[in-house]
Structure 1
């Protein structure tokens, strides 16, 4: 047996026996080298192999730690539910221990600043880190153009209600769109208009006409991994949207909430093509956890002062502790490692979902969208199929999906019948079973009296 394997097996045995507890720091490389009378490179190789097996994890400038074992519990009947409805991140992928370390370190480093009022713009050191971090998404900006918000939702609320320099008032939405954005606009009585978006994209001629003749203050769009469609705009479409926005003095609010899950290195945001009329929004909730409540807004100079004023009046500042911990998380390299793990997990599930859709769909009028990355996709359904009945029947079989209706404005008539399928809360081994059941129920409805319910 090779030397590194002996060291590795010994540590693995101690973890299994409980001699090394979850979260416990392992001996330093120098200590292990002395203990096993081997070279430091042998210990490093052993620790690296254990990290690949997810038995230990490393923290830069700190050392190696044992991974916390999952607590074995009584079988839970809820685990048999196949949930395609939730867009929330998988709690099994949350970086609890890593982020706990970052929180503790943040308190040590910034204790004199974290528990007093900060600035509406955000923690200055985080702004500098984000300026560099955003370049990986082809977003090139300066720290003074970045505002930290309490999640992307706060940024949307501010942008929707504040005045814009173009003097216009109406918000244009893709239809369907993010349901909470729709609720936000309706709640505040903000003029809103819809434009159809399908798997193939958007009608750029219609968009130009609306920009030219309408009272459009801003166009809210999710170009990448659209919610709820799951699809993305082509490079040509993104360039055209940026050009039209500048030509007709309309601001584009680009919600790039799943940017970190992109696997195509050539896919750039609209901001990369036109920054003077684009507000770029980024979230860290899907790659870390929603409770972090840190959103990033990159704003054109013309909007900075007004946005800052409204931000200051809404909450004075966003959580400084969360900001400081995120800064350390990114700076330490933990973010990139975690991003890769989460991206790989979700990508594997989505590929499994695509294969299942191909395998079990033997119809001619039901069309699954081809989505290579992200968190979700959709199935276009025939008009005759009564979706509420289908969802009720699937729910009885413990297969959970949600109505797509909240993703449409109440006044918008050109609605596409569809099912949204999210993979964040469904185990990979459940996907085939769930998709098979969906198509089985559709077939049963077509051969029964509920086929044409309306």
Structure 2
């Protein structure tokens, strides 16, 4: 009996080691789906429970992640960008900023300056709402996006995710309990809502936009406490709402006493001007405005800012009781904004991404064929999506692309588990892909999709 147990442990360790080696050596690419538990058990000649345990440990180590009703996928890690360039991988899967464009020296200067300015204050816990001087700096910073709050209504959070989680859990003054989300939408937030058993409904959003009549019906139902939306550079679609749609959403929110949670996480990556968020049409009575600084600088900064309507402040403070956001990061960001470095870097990186998106559009025009893929006309941000025919075998397509050293993310994980009316697509990110590799990658995707539909 002890021998069997010992053998099982040895088998588990050897499987875990083998899987880690395959991922490290690039046999499983970032974003690629792993074999199912049953297939892996057959391949390794072991029980399903042994493979399940190995996958659970890999997920715990953040090597892989699971998508409900889909399977396990390899995580795109911060180090992958260098490995990918060396190995010739065309990475359309990663959402990390281009580390070659990372303002390392500038931000190092701001960190040193922040230490000089704040000295011993940085060793205190600070205030739960965030560094006061940063919040005042953010008043003028947010004004560039037509968001005009008082400093008291701005709260600094540990990335946008913390704010999203608090808002999902806390009660709202409208007395409603359900969250309405676009379908597709931000995958990690969908998984959080499902895991926490928060009542959640989906409403279709496509490249063409939103059915505002259906949105009004949902608002009228009396169940929705807030509607989570990305008004521009939607993840995963890459599209933005028109001015008429943004204005209409604000009007419906006020009419039916439903709050809008506007995640403007890529506000700084737009090449175009004159984009007023939904918040600008509401004045801040029913729109919660959320901004992240991760995409423009670097994810490890873990800083976000949320602008709350007056009626939500007290409850939000009660749920965010700890000053858990790094004071040094906040102080450095304040210096970075005030000395003009943020604005300069914003223009540099948005121009960089715009040129890559232009290269992608040109490649799509060059290689795509009528009836093959539907690709929206996007000029800013880092995302777009290639909509495929329902007959395409997506897993086989991704496998063929992986064999050609191309990684992309399938659309399935961006939907609620019980949402049935899904579109079939690949999400394409250009954040770390050079223009010449973009052309090569688009050509290969078109070739493989053509093979699939023949």
Shorter-chain TM range is 0.7 to 0.9
Deviation at 1:363, TM superposition (A): 3.2
- How does 1:43-442 map onto structure 2 within 5 Å? 78-274=86-282, 275-312=284-321, 315-442=322-449
**Structure 2, gaps ≥5 residues long:** 1-81
Partners of 1:205 and 1:399 lie apart in 2 by 40
Partner SS state of residue 385, structure 1:
coil
Deviation at 1:87, TM superposition (A): 1.2
Structure 1, 107-116 or 176-185: larger mean CA deviation: 107-116
For 1:169-188, what per-residue CA distance to the aligned partner results, in whole angstroms no more than 9, with x for missing partners? 10000000000110110111
Partner SS state of residue 140, structure 1:
coil
For 1:320-341, what per-residue CA distance to the aligned partner results, in whole angstroms no more than 9, with x for missing partners? 1000000000011111111111
Partners of 1:264 and 1:344 lie apart in 2 by 10
Partner SS state of residue 257, structure 2:
coil
Partners of 1:256 and 1:171 lie apart in 2 by 18
Match of 1:30 in 2: none
Partner SS state of residue 148, structure 1:
strand
Partner SS state of residue 143, structure 2:
helix
2:203–2:215 Cα contact (<8 Å) kept: yes
Deviation at 1:78, TM superposition (A): 4.0
Partners of 1:446 and 1:185 lie apart in 2 by 36
For 1:230-250, what per-residue CA distance to the aligned partner results, in whole angstroms no more than 9, with x for missing partners? 000000000000010111111
Moved over 3 A (4+): 74-79
Partners of 2:362 and 2:266 lie apart in 1 by 22
Deviation at 1:214, TM superposition (A): 4.0
Partner SS state of residue 120, structure 2:
coil
Partners of 2:342 and 2:183 lie apart in 1 by 33
Deviation at 1:438, TM superposition (A): 0.5
Partners of 1:77 and 1:318 lie apart in 2 by 34
For 1:58-86, what per-residue CA distance to the aligned partner results, in whole angstroms no more than 9, with x for missing partners? xxxxxxxxxxxxxxxx9977440000011
1:352–1:431 Cα contact (<8 Å) kept: yes
Partners of 2:396 and 2:356 lie apart in 1 by 27
Partners of 1:139 and 1:75 lie apart in 2 by 40
Partners of 1:413 and 1:435 lie apart in 2 by 29
**Structure 1, gaps ≥5 residues long:** 1-73, 448-454
Partners of 2:355 and 2:372 lie apart in 1 by 27
1:169–1:216 Cα contact (<8 Å) kept: yes
For 1:192-237, what per-residue CA distance to the aligned partner results, in whole angstroms no more than 9, with x for missing partners? 0000000111010000011011410110000100000000000000
1:121–1:317 Cα contact (<8 Å) kept: no
2:114–2:335 Cα contact (<8 Å) kept: yes
Q: How does the TM-score come out when normalised to structure 2?
A: 0.80
* Count of matched residue pairs: 372
Go from structure 1 to structure 2 and tell me whether the alpha carbon gap of 1:97 and 1:253 turns closer, same or farther (over 3 Å shift): same
Cα root mean square deviation, aligned? 1.3
